[in-house]
Amino acid sequence: MIFKKDFAWGAATASYQNEGGMNADGKGLSIWDVFTHEKGRVADGTNGDVACDQYHRIEEDIDIMKELSMNAYRFSLSWPRIMPEGNGQVNEKGLDFYDRMVDSLLERGITPYITLFHWDLPYELYLKGGWLNPDMPEWFAEYTSAVMNRLSDRVDHWITQNEPQCYIGSGMASGIHAPGLKMNKKDCLQAAHNSLLAHGRSVQAIRAEARKTPVIGYAPAAWWLWSPVSDDPADIEACRKQTFCADEDQVGGSAWWMDPVFLGKYPESAVKIVEEYMPRIGQGDMKLISQPVDFLGINVYQTYLGKAAEDGCCITVDHKPGYDKTAYPWPITPQALYWGPKFFSERYHTQIIVTENGLSNTDWIHLDGKVHDPQRIDFTHKYLKQLKRAAEEGIDIGGYFHWTLTDNFEWATGYGNRFGLVYVDFETNRRIIKDSGYWYKSVIESNGEII
């Protein structure tokens, strides 16, 4: 058996992209609620007010997971649904929704993997400075405690933050995501540091207050990843170094976000490059950030390709003309699910869970009433073959979560990208399981043996 007996096979979603229910039952505003209502922010002029309406259709979605034999579901909580002001008063009705969701999942034998923060920051905290406010770590810990108080008697798998590179980089540096800011480098690095401190305080709160022994992870984006174009040791080493290299835009780099958590320090070579913009590192900050966690979650969609130059440095290899690409369009590079787990496990010596992997595809309902998506099947099959290769070499891989369960609101592109195993008609929110969903079911039932 290549994959572990208790391997987590599931799908991943995010609260703002799926739930809808923008004003339901006392929920507060998030930065995405505000951002998407500004003209020109979203490509197709839409918003996530309703999204997939999961807030009212959660039982249907969990039934679909059960039908597809999933044994795990990764989803995020809406911070402003639970704490409309971001801190202080807890909205019990908001927690009731997640309470019911957890019970329904467990009744069907599906393990909840809860992500505490997937980008939808409470708007009221944004008005207080958001990630630039030095109180953010304590606010995040307070929110974590409210969740622990309600759900930790049944939930034991927790992820603190999802892709901080995106909510800091895309939200506060480039401005293409909420809240739409274009801040200077010094402020971005300060916000990044506060985010890492918030992760550490959240880990502390989980360990102190969880009523079941917790399994805690952290899920930064893993797109800053180079795969060698050959098995030449020189190419492999060049790509390994490049994956963790220094760069002027540290908000995007893997090492900037992973080294502090797993090694207790910022990468020295990177610090030298941005030294004049560095935030003040307080006494005890790095110890707090590097609180022990149980796994690294990696979100992998594509990889850069590289080879060694004469001096041993990595040369990025361009994709050939007419290269294979998804509808997004991102290049299709299955080797990312081998080299990613390999490089990250070698550096950080921790279990790896693929917390996101999938593709945007041009899906539609065919004349027979079904949704045939052979591209998604082929894509996922190729990526899982590479993950299986990593597992065969003894890399500790704990699970795979396909992005995503249902077609949903894809951030600044709106509803123009379909990533789901399940088709959604966004006018009626009717669900149709795609061919890829049934194929994934067969993979799960064989524990990956058919890959």
Q: Is the pLDDT of residue 11 over 80?
A: yes
CA geometry: angle at 292 spanning 402 and 256, to 5°? Answer: 70
What are the phi and psi torsion angles at 30 (to 5°)? -105, 170
In the residue annotation, 356 being an active-site residue is answered as: yes
Q: Do the beta carbons of residue 11 and residue 354 sit within 8 Å?
A: no
pLDDT by residue (tens digit) across 352-364? Answer: 999 999 999 999 9
Which whole number is the average pLDDT over 99-108?
Answer: 98
Say what the pLDDT of residue 247 is.
73
The pLDDT-based confidence of 250 (bands split at 50, 70, 90) is confident
SS (H, E, C) the chain: CCCCCCCEEEEECCHHHHCCCCCHHHCCCEHHHHHCCCCCCCCCCCCCCCCCCHHHHHHHHHHHHHHCCCCEEEEECCHHHHCCCCCCCCCHHHHHHHHHHHHHHHHCCCEEEEEEECCCCEHHHHCCCHHHCCCHHHHHHHHHHHHHHHHCCCCCEEEEEECHHHHHHHHHHCCCCCCCCCCCHHHHHHHHHHHHHHHHHHHHHHHHHCCCCCEEEEECECCCCEEECCCCHHHHHHHHHHHCCCCCCCCCCHHHHHHHHHHCCCCHHHHHHCHHHCCCCCCCHHHHHCCCCCEEEEECCCCEEEEECCCCCEEEECCCCCCCECCCCCECCCCHHHHHHHHHHHHHCCEEEEEECCCCECCCCCCCCCCCCHHHHHHHHHHHHHHHHHHHCCCCEEEEEEECCECCCCHHHCCCCECCCEEEECCCCEEEECHHHHHHHHHHHCCCCCC
Which whole number is the average pLDDT over 396-425?
Answer: 98
What are the phi and psi torsion angles at 328 (to 5°)? -65, -50
Structure tokens given for 313: 């440095």
Q: Do the beta carbons of residue 304 and residue 227 sit within 8 Å?
A: yes
pLDDT by residue (tens digit) across 292-323? Answer: 999 999 999 999 999 999 998 999 999 999 99
Which whole number is the average pLDDT over 32-38?
Answer: 98
Which whole number is the average pLDDT over 206-210?
Answer: 98
pLDDT by residue (tens digit) across 285-300? Answer: 999 999 999 999 999 9
Q: Do the beta carbons of residue 371 and residue 435 sit within 8 Å?
A: yes
Say what the pLDDT of residue 239 is.
97
Say what the pLDDT of residue 269 is.
87
Say what the pLDDT of residue 249 is.
75
Say what the pLDDT of residue 347 is.
98
Say what the pLDDT of residue 253 is.
87
* 249 or 403, greater pLDDT: 403
Catalytic pick among 237, 356, 393, 449: 356
Which whole number is the average pLDDT over 332-347?
Answer: 98
Average pLDDT, the chain: 97
Q: Is the pLDDT of residue 67 over 80?
A: yes
Say what the pLDDT of residue 12 is.
99
Which whole number is the average pLDDT over 236-265?
Answer: 91
Say what the pLDDT of residue 1 is.
81
List the single range of 85-99, 128-142, 248-262 with lowest mean pLDDT. 248-262
Catalytic pick among 19, 124, 142, 163: 163
Percentage of the chain exceeding pLDDT 90? 97
Which whole number is the average pLDDT over 140-157?
Answer: 98
pTM of the predicted model as reported, rounded to 2 decimal places: 0.98
Say what the pLDDT of residue 252 is.
76
The pLDDT-based confidence of 248 (bands split at 50, 70, 90) is confident
pLDDT by residue (tens digit) across 156-207? Answer: 999 999 999 999 999 999 999 999 999 999 999 999 999 999 999 999 999 9
Domains and CATH numbers, the chain: 8-445 (3.20.20.80)
Q: Do the beta carbons of residue 164 and residue 178 sit within 8 Å?
A: no
In the residue annotation, 393 being an active-site residue is answered as: no
Q: Cα–Cα distances in Å, from 270 out to 151, 190, 191, 247, 341?
A: 39, 15, 17, 6, 22
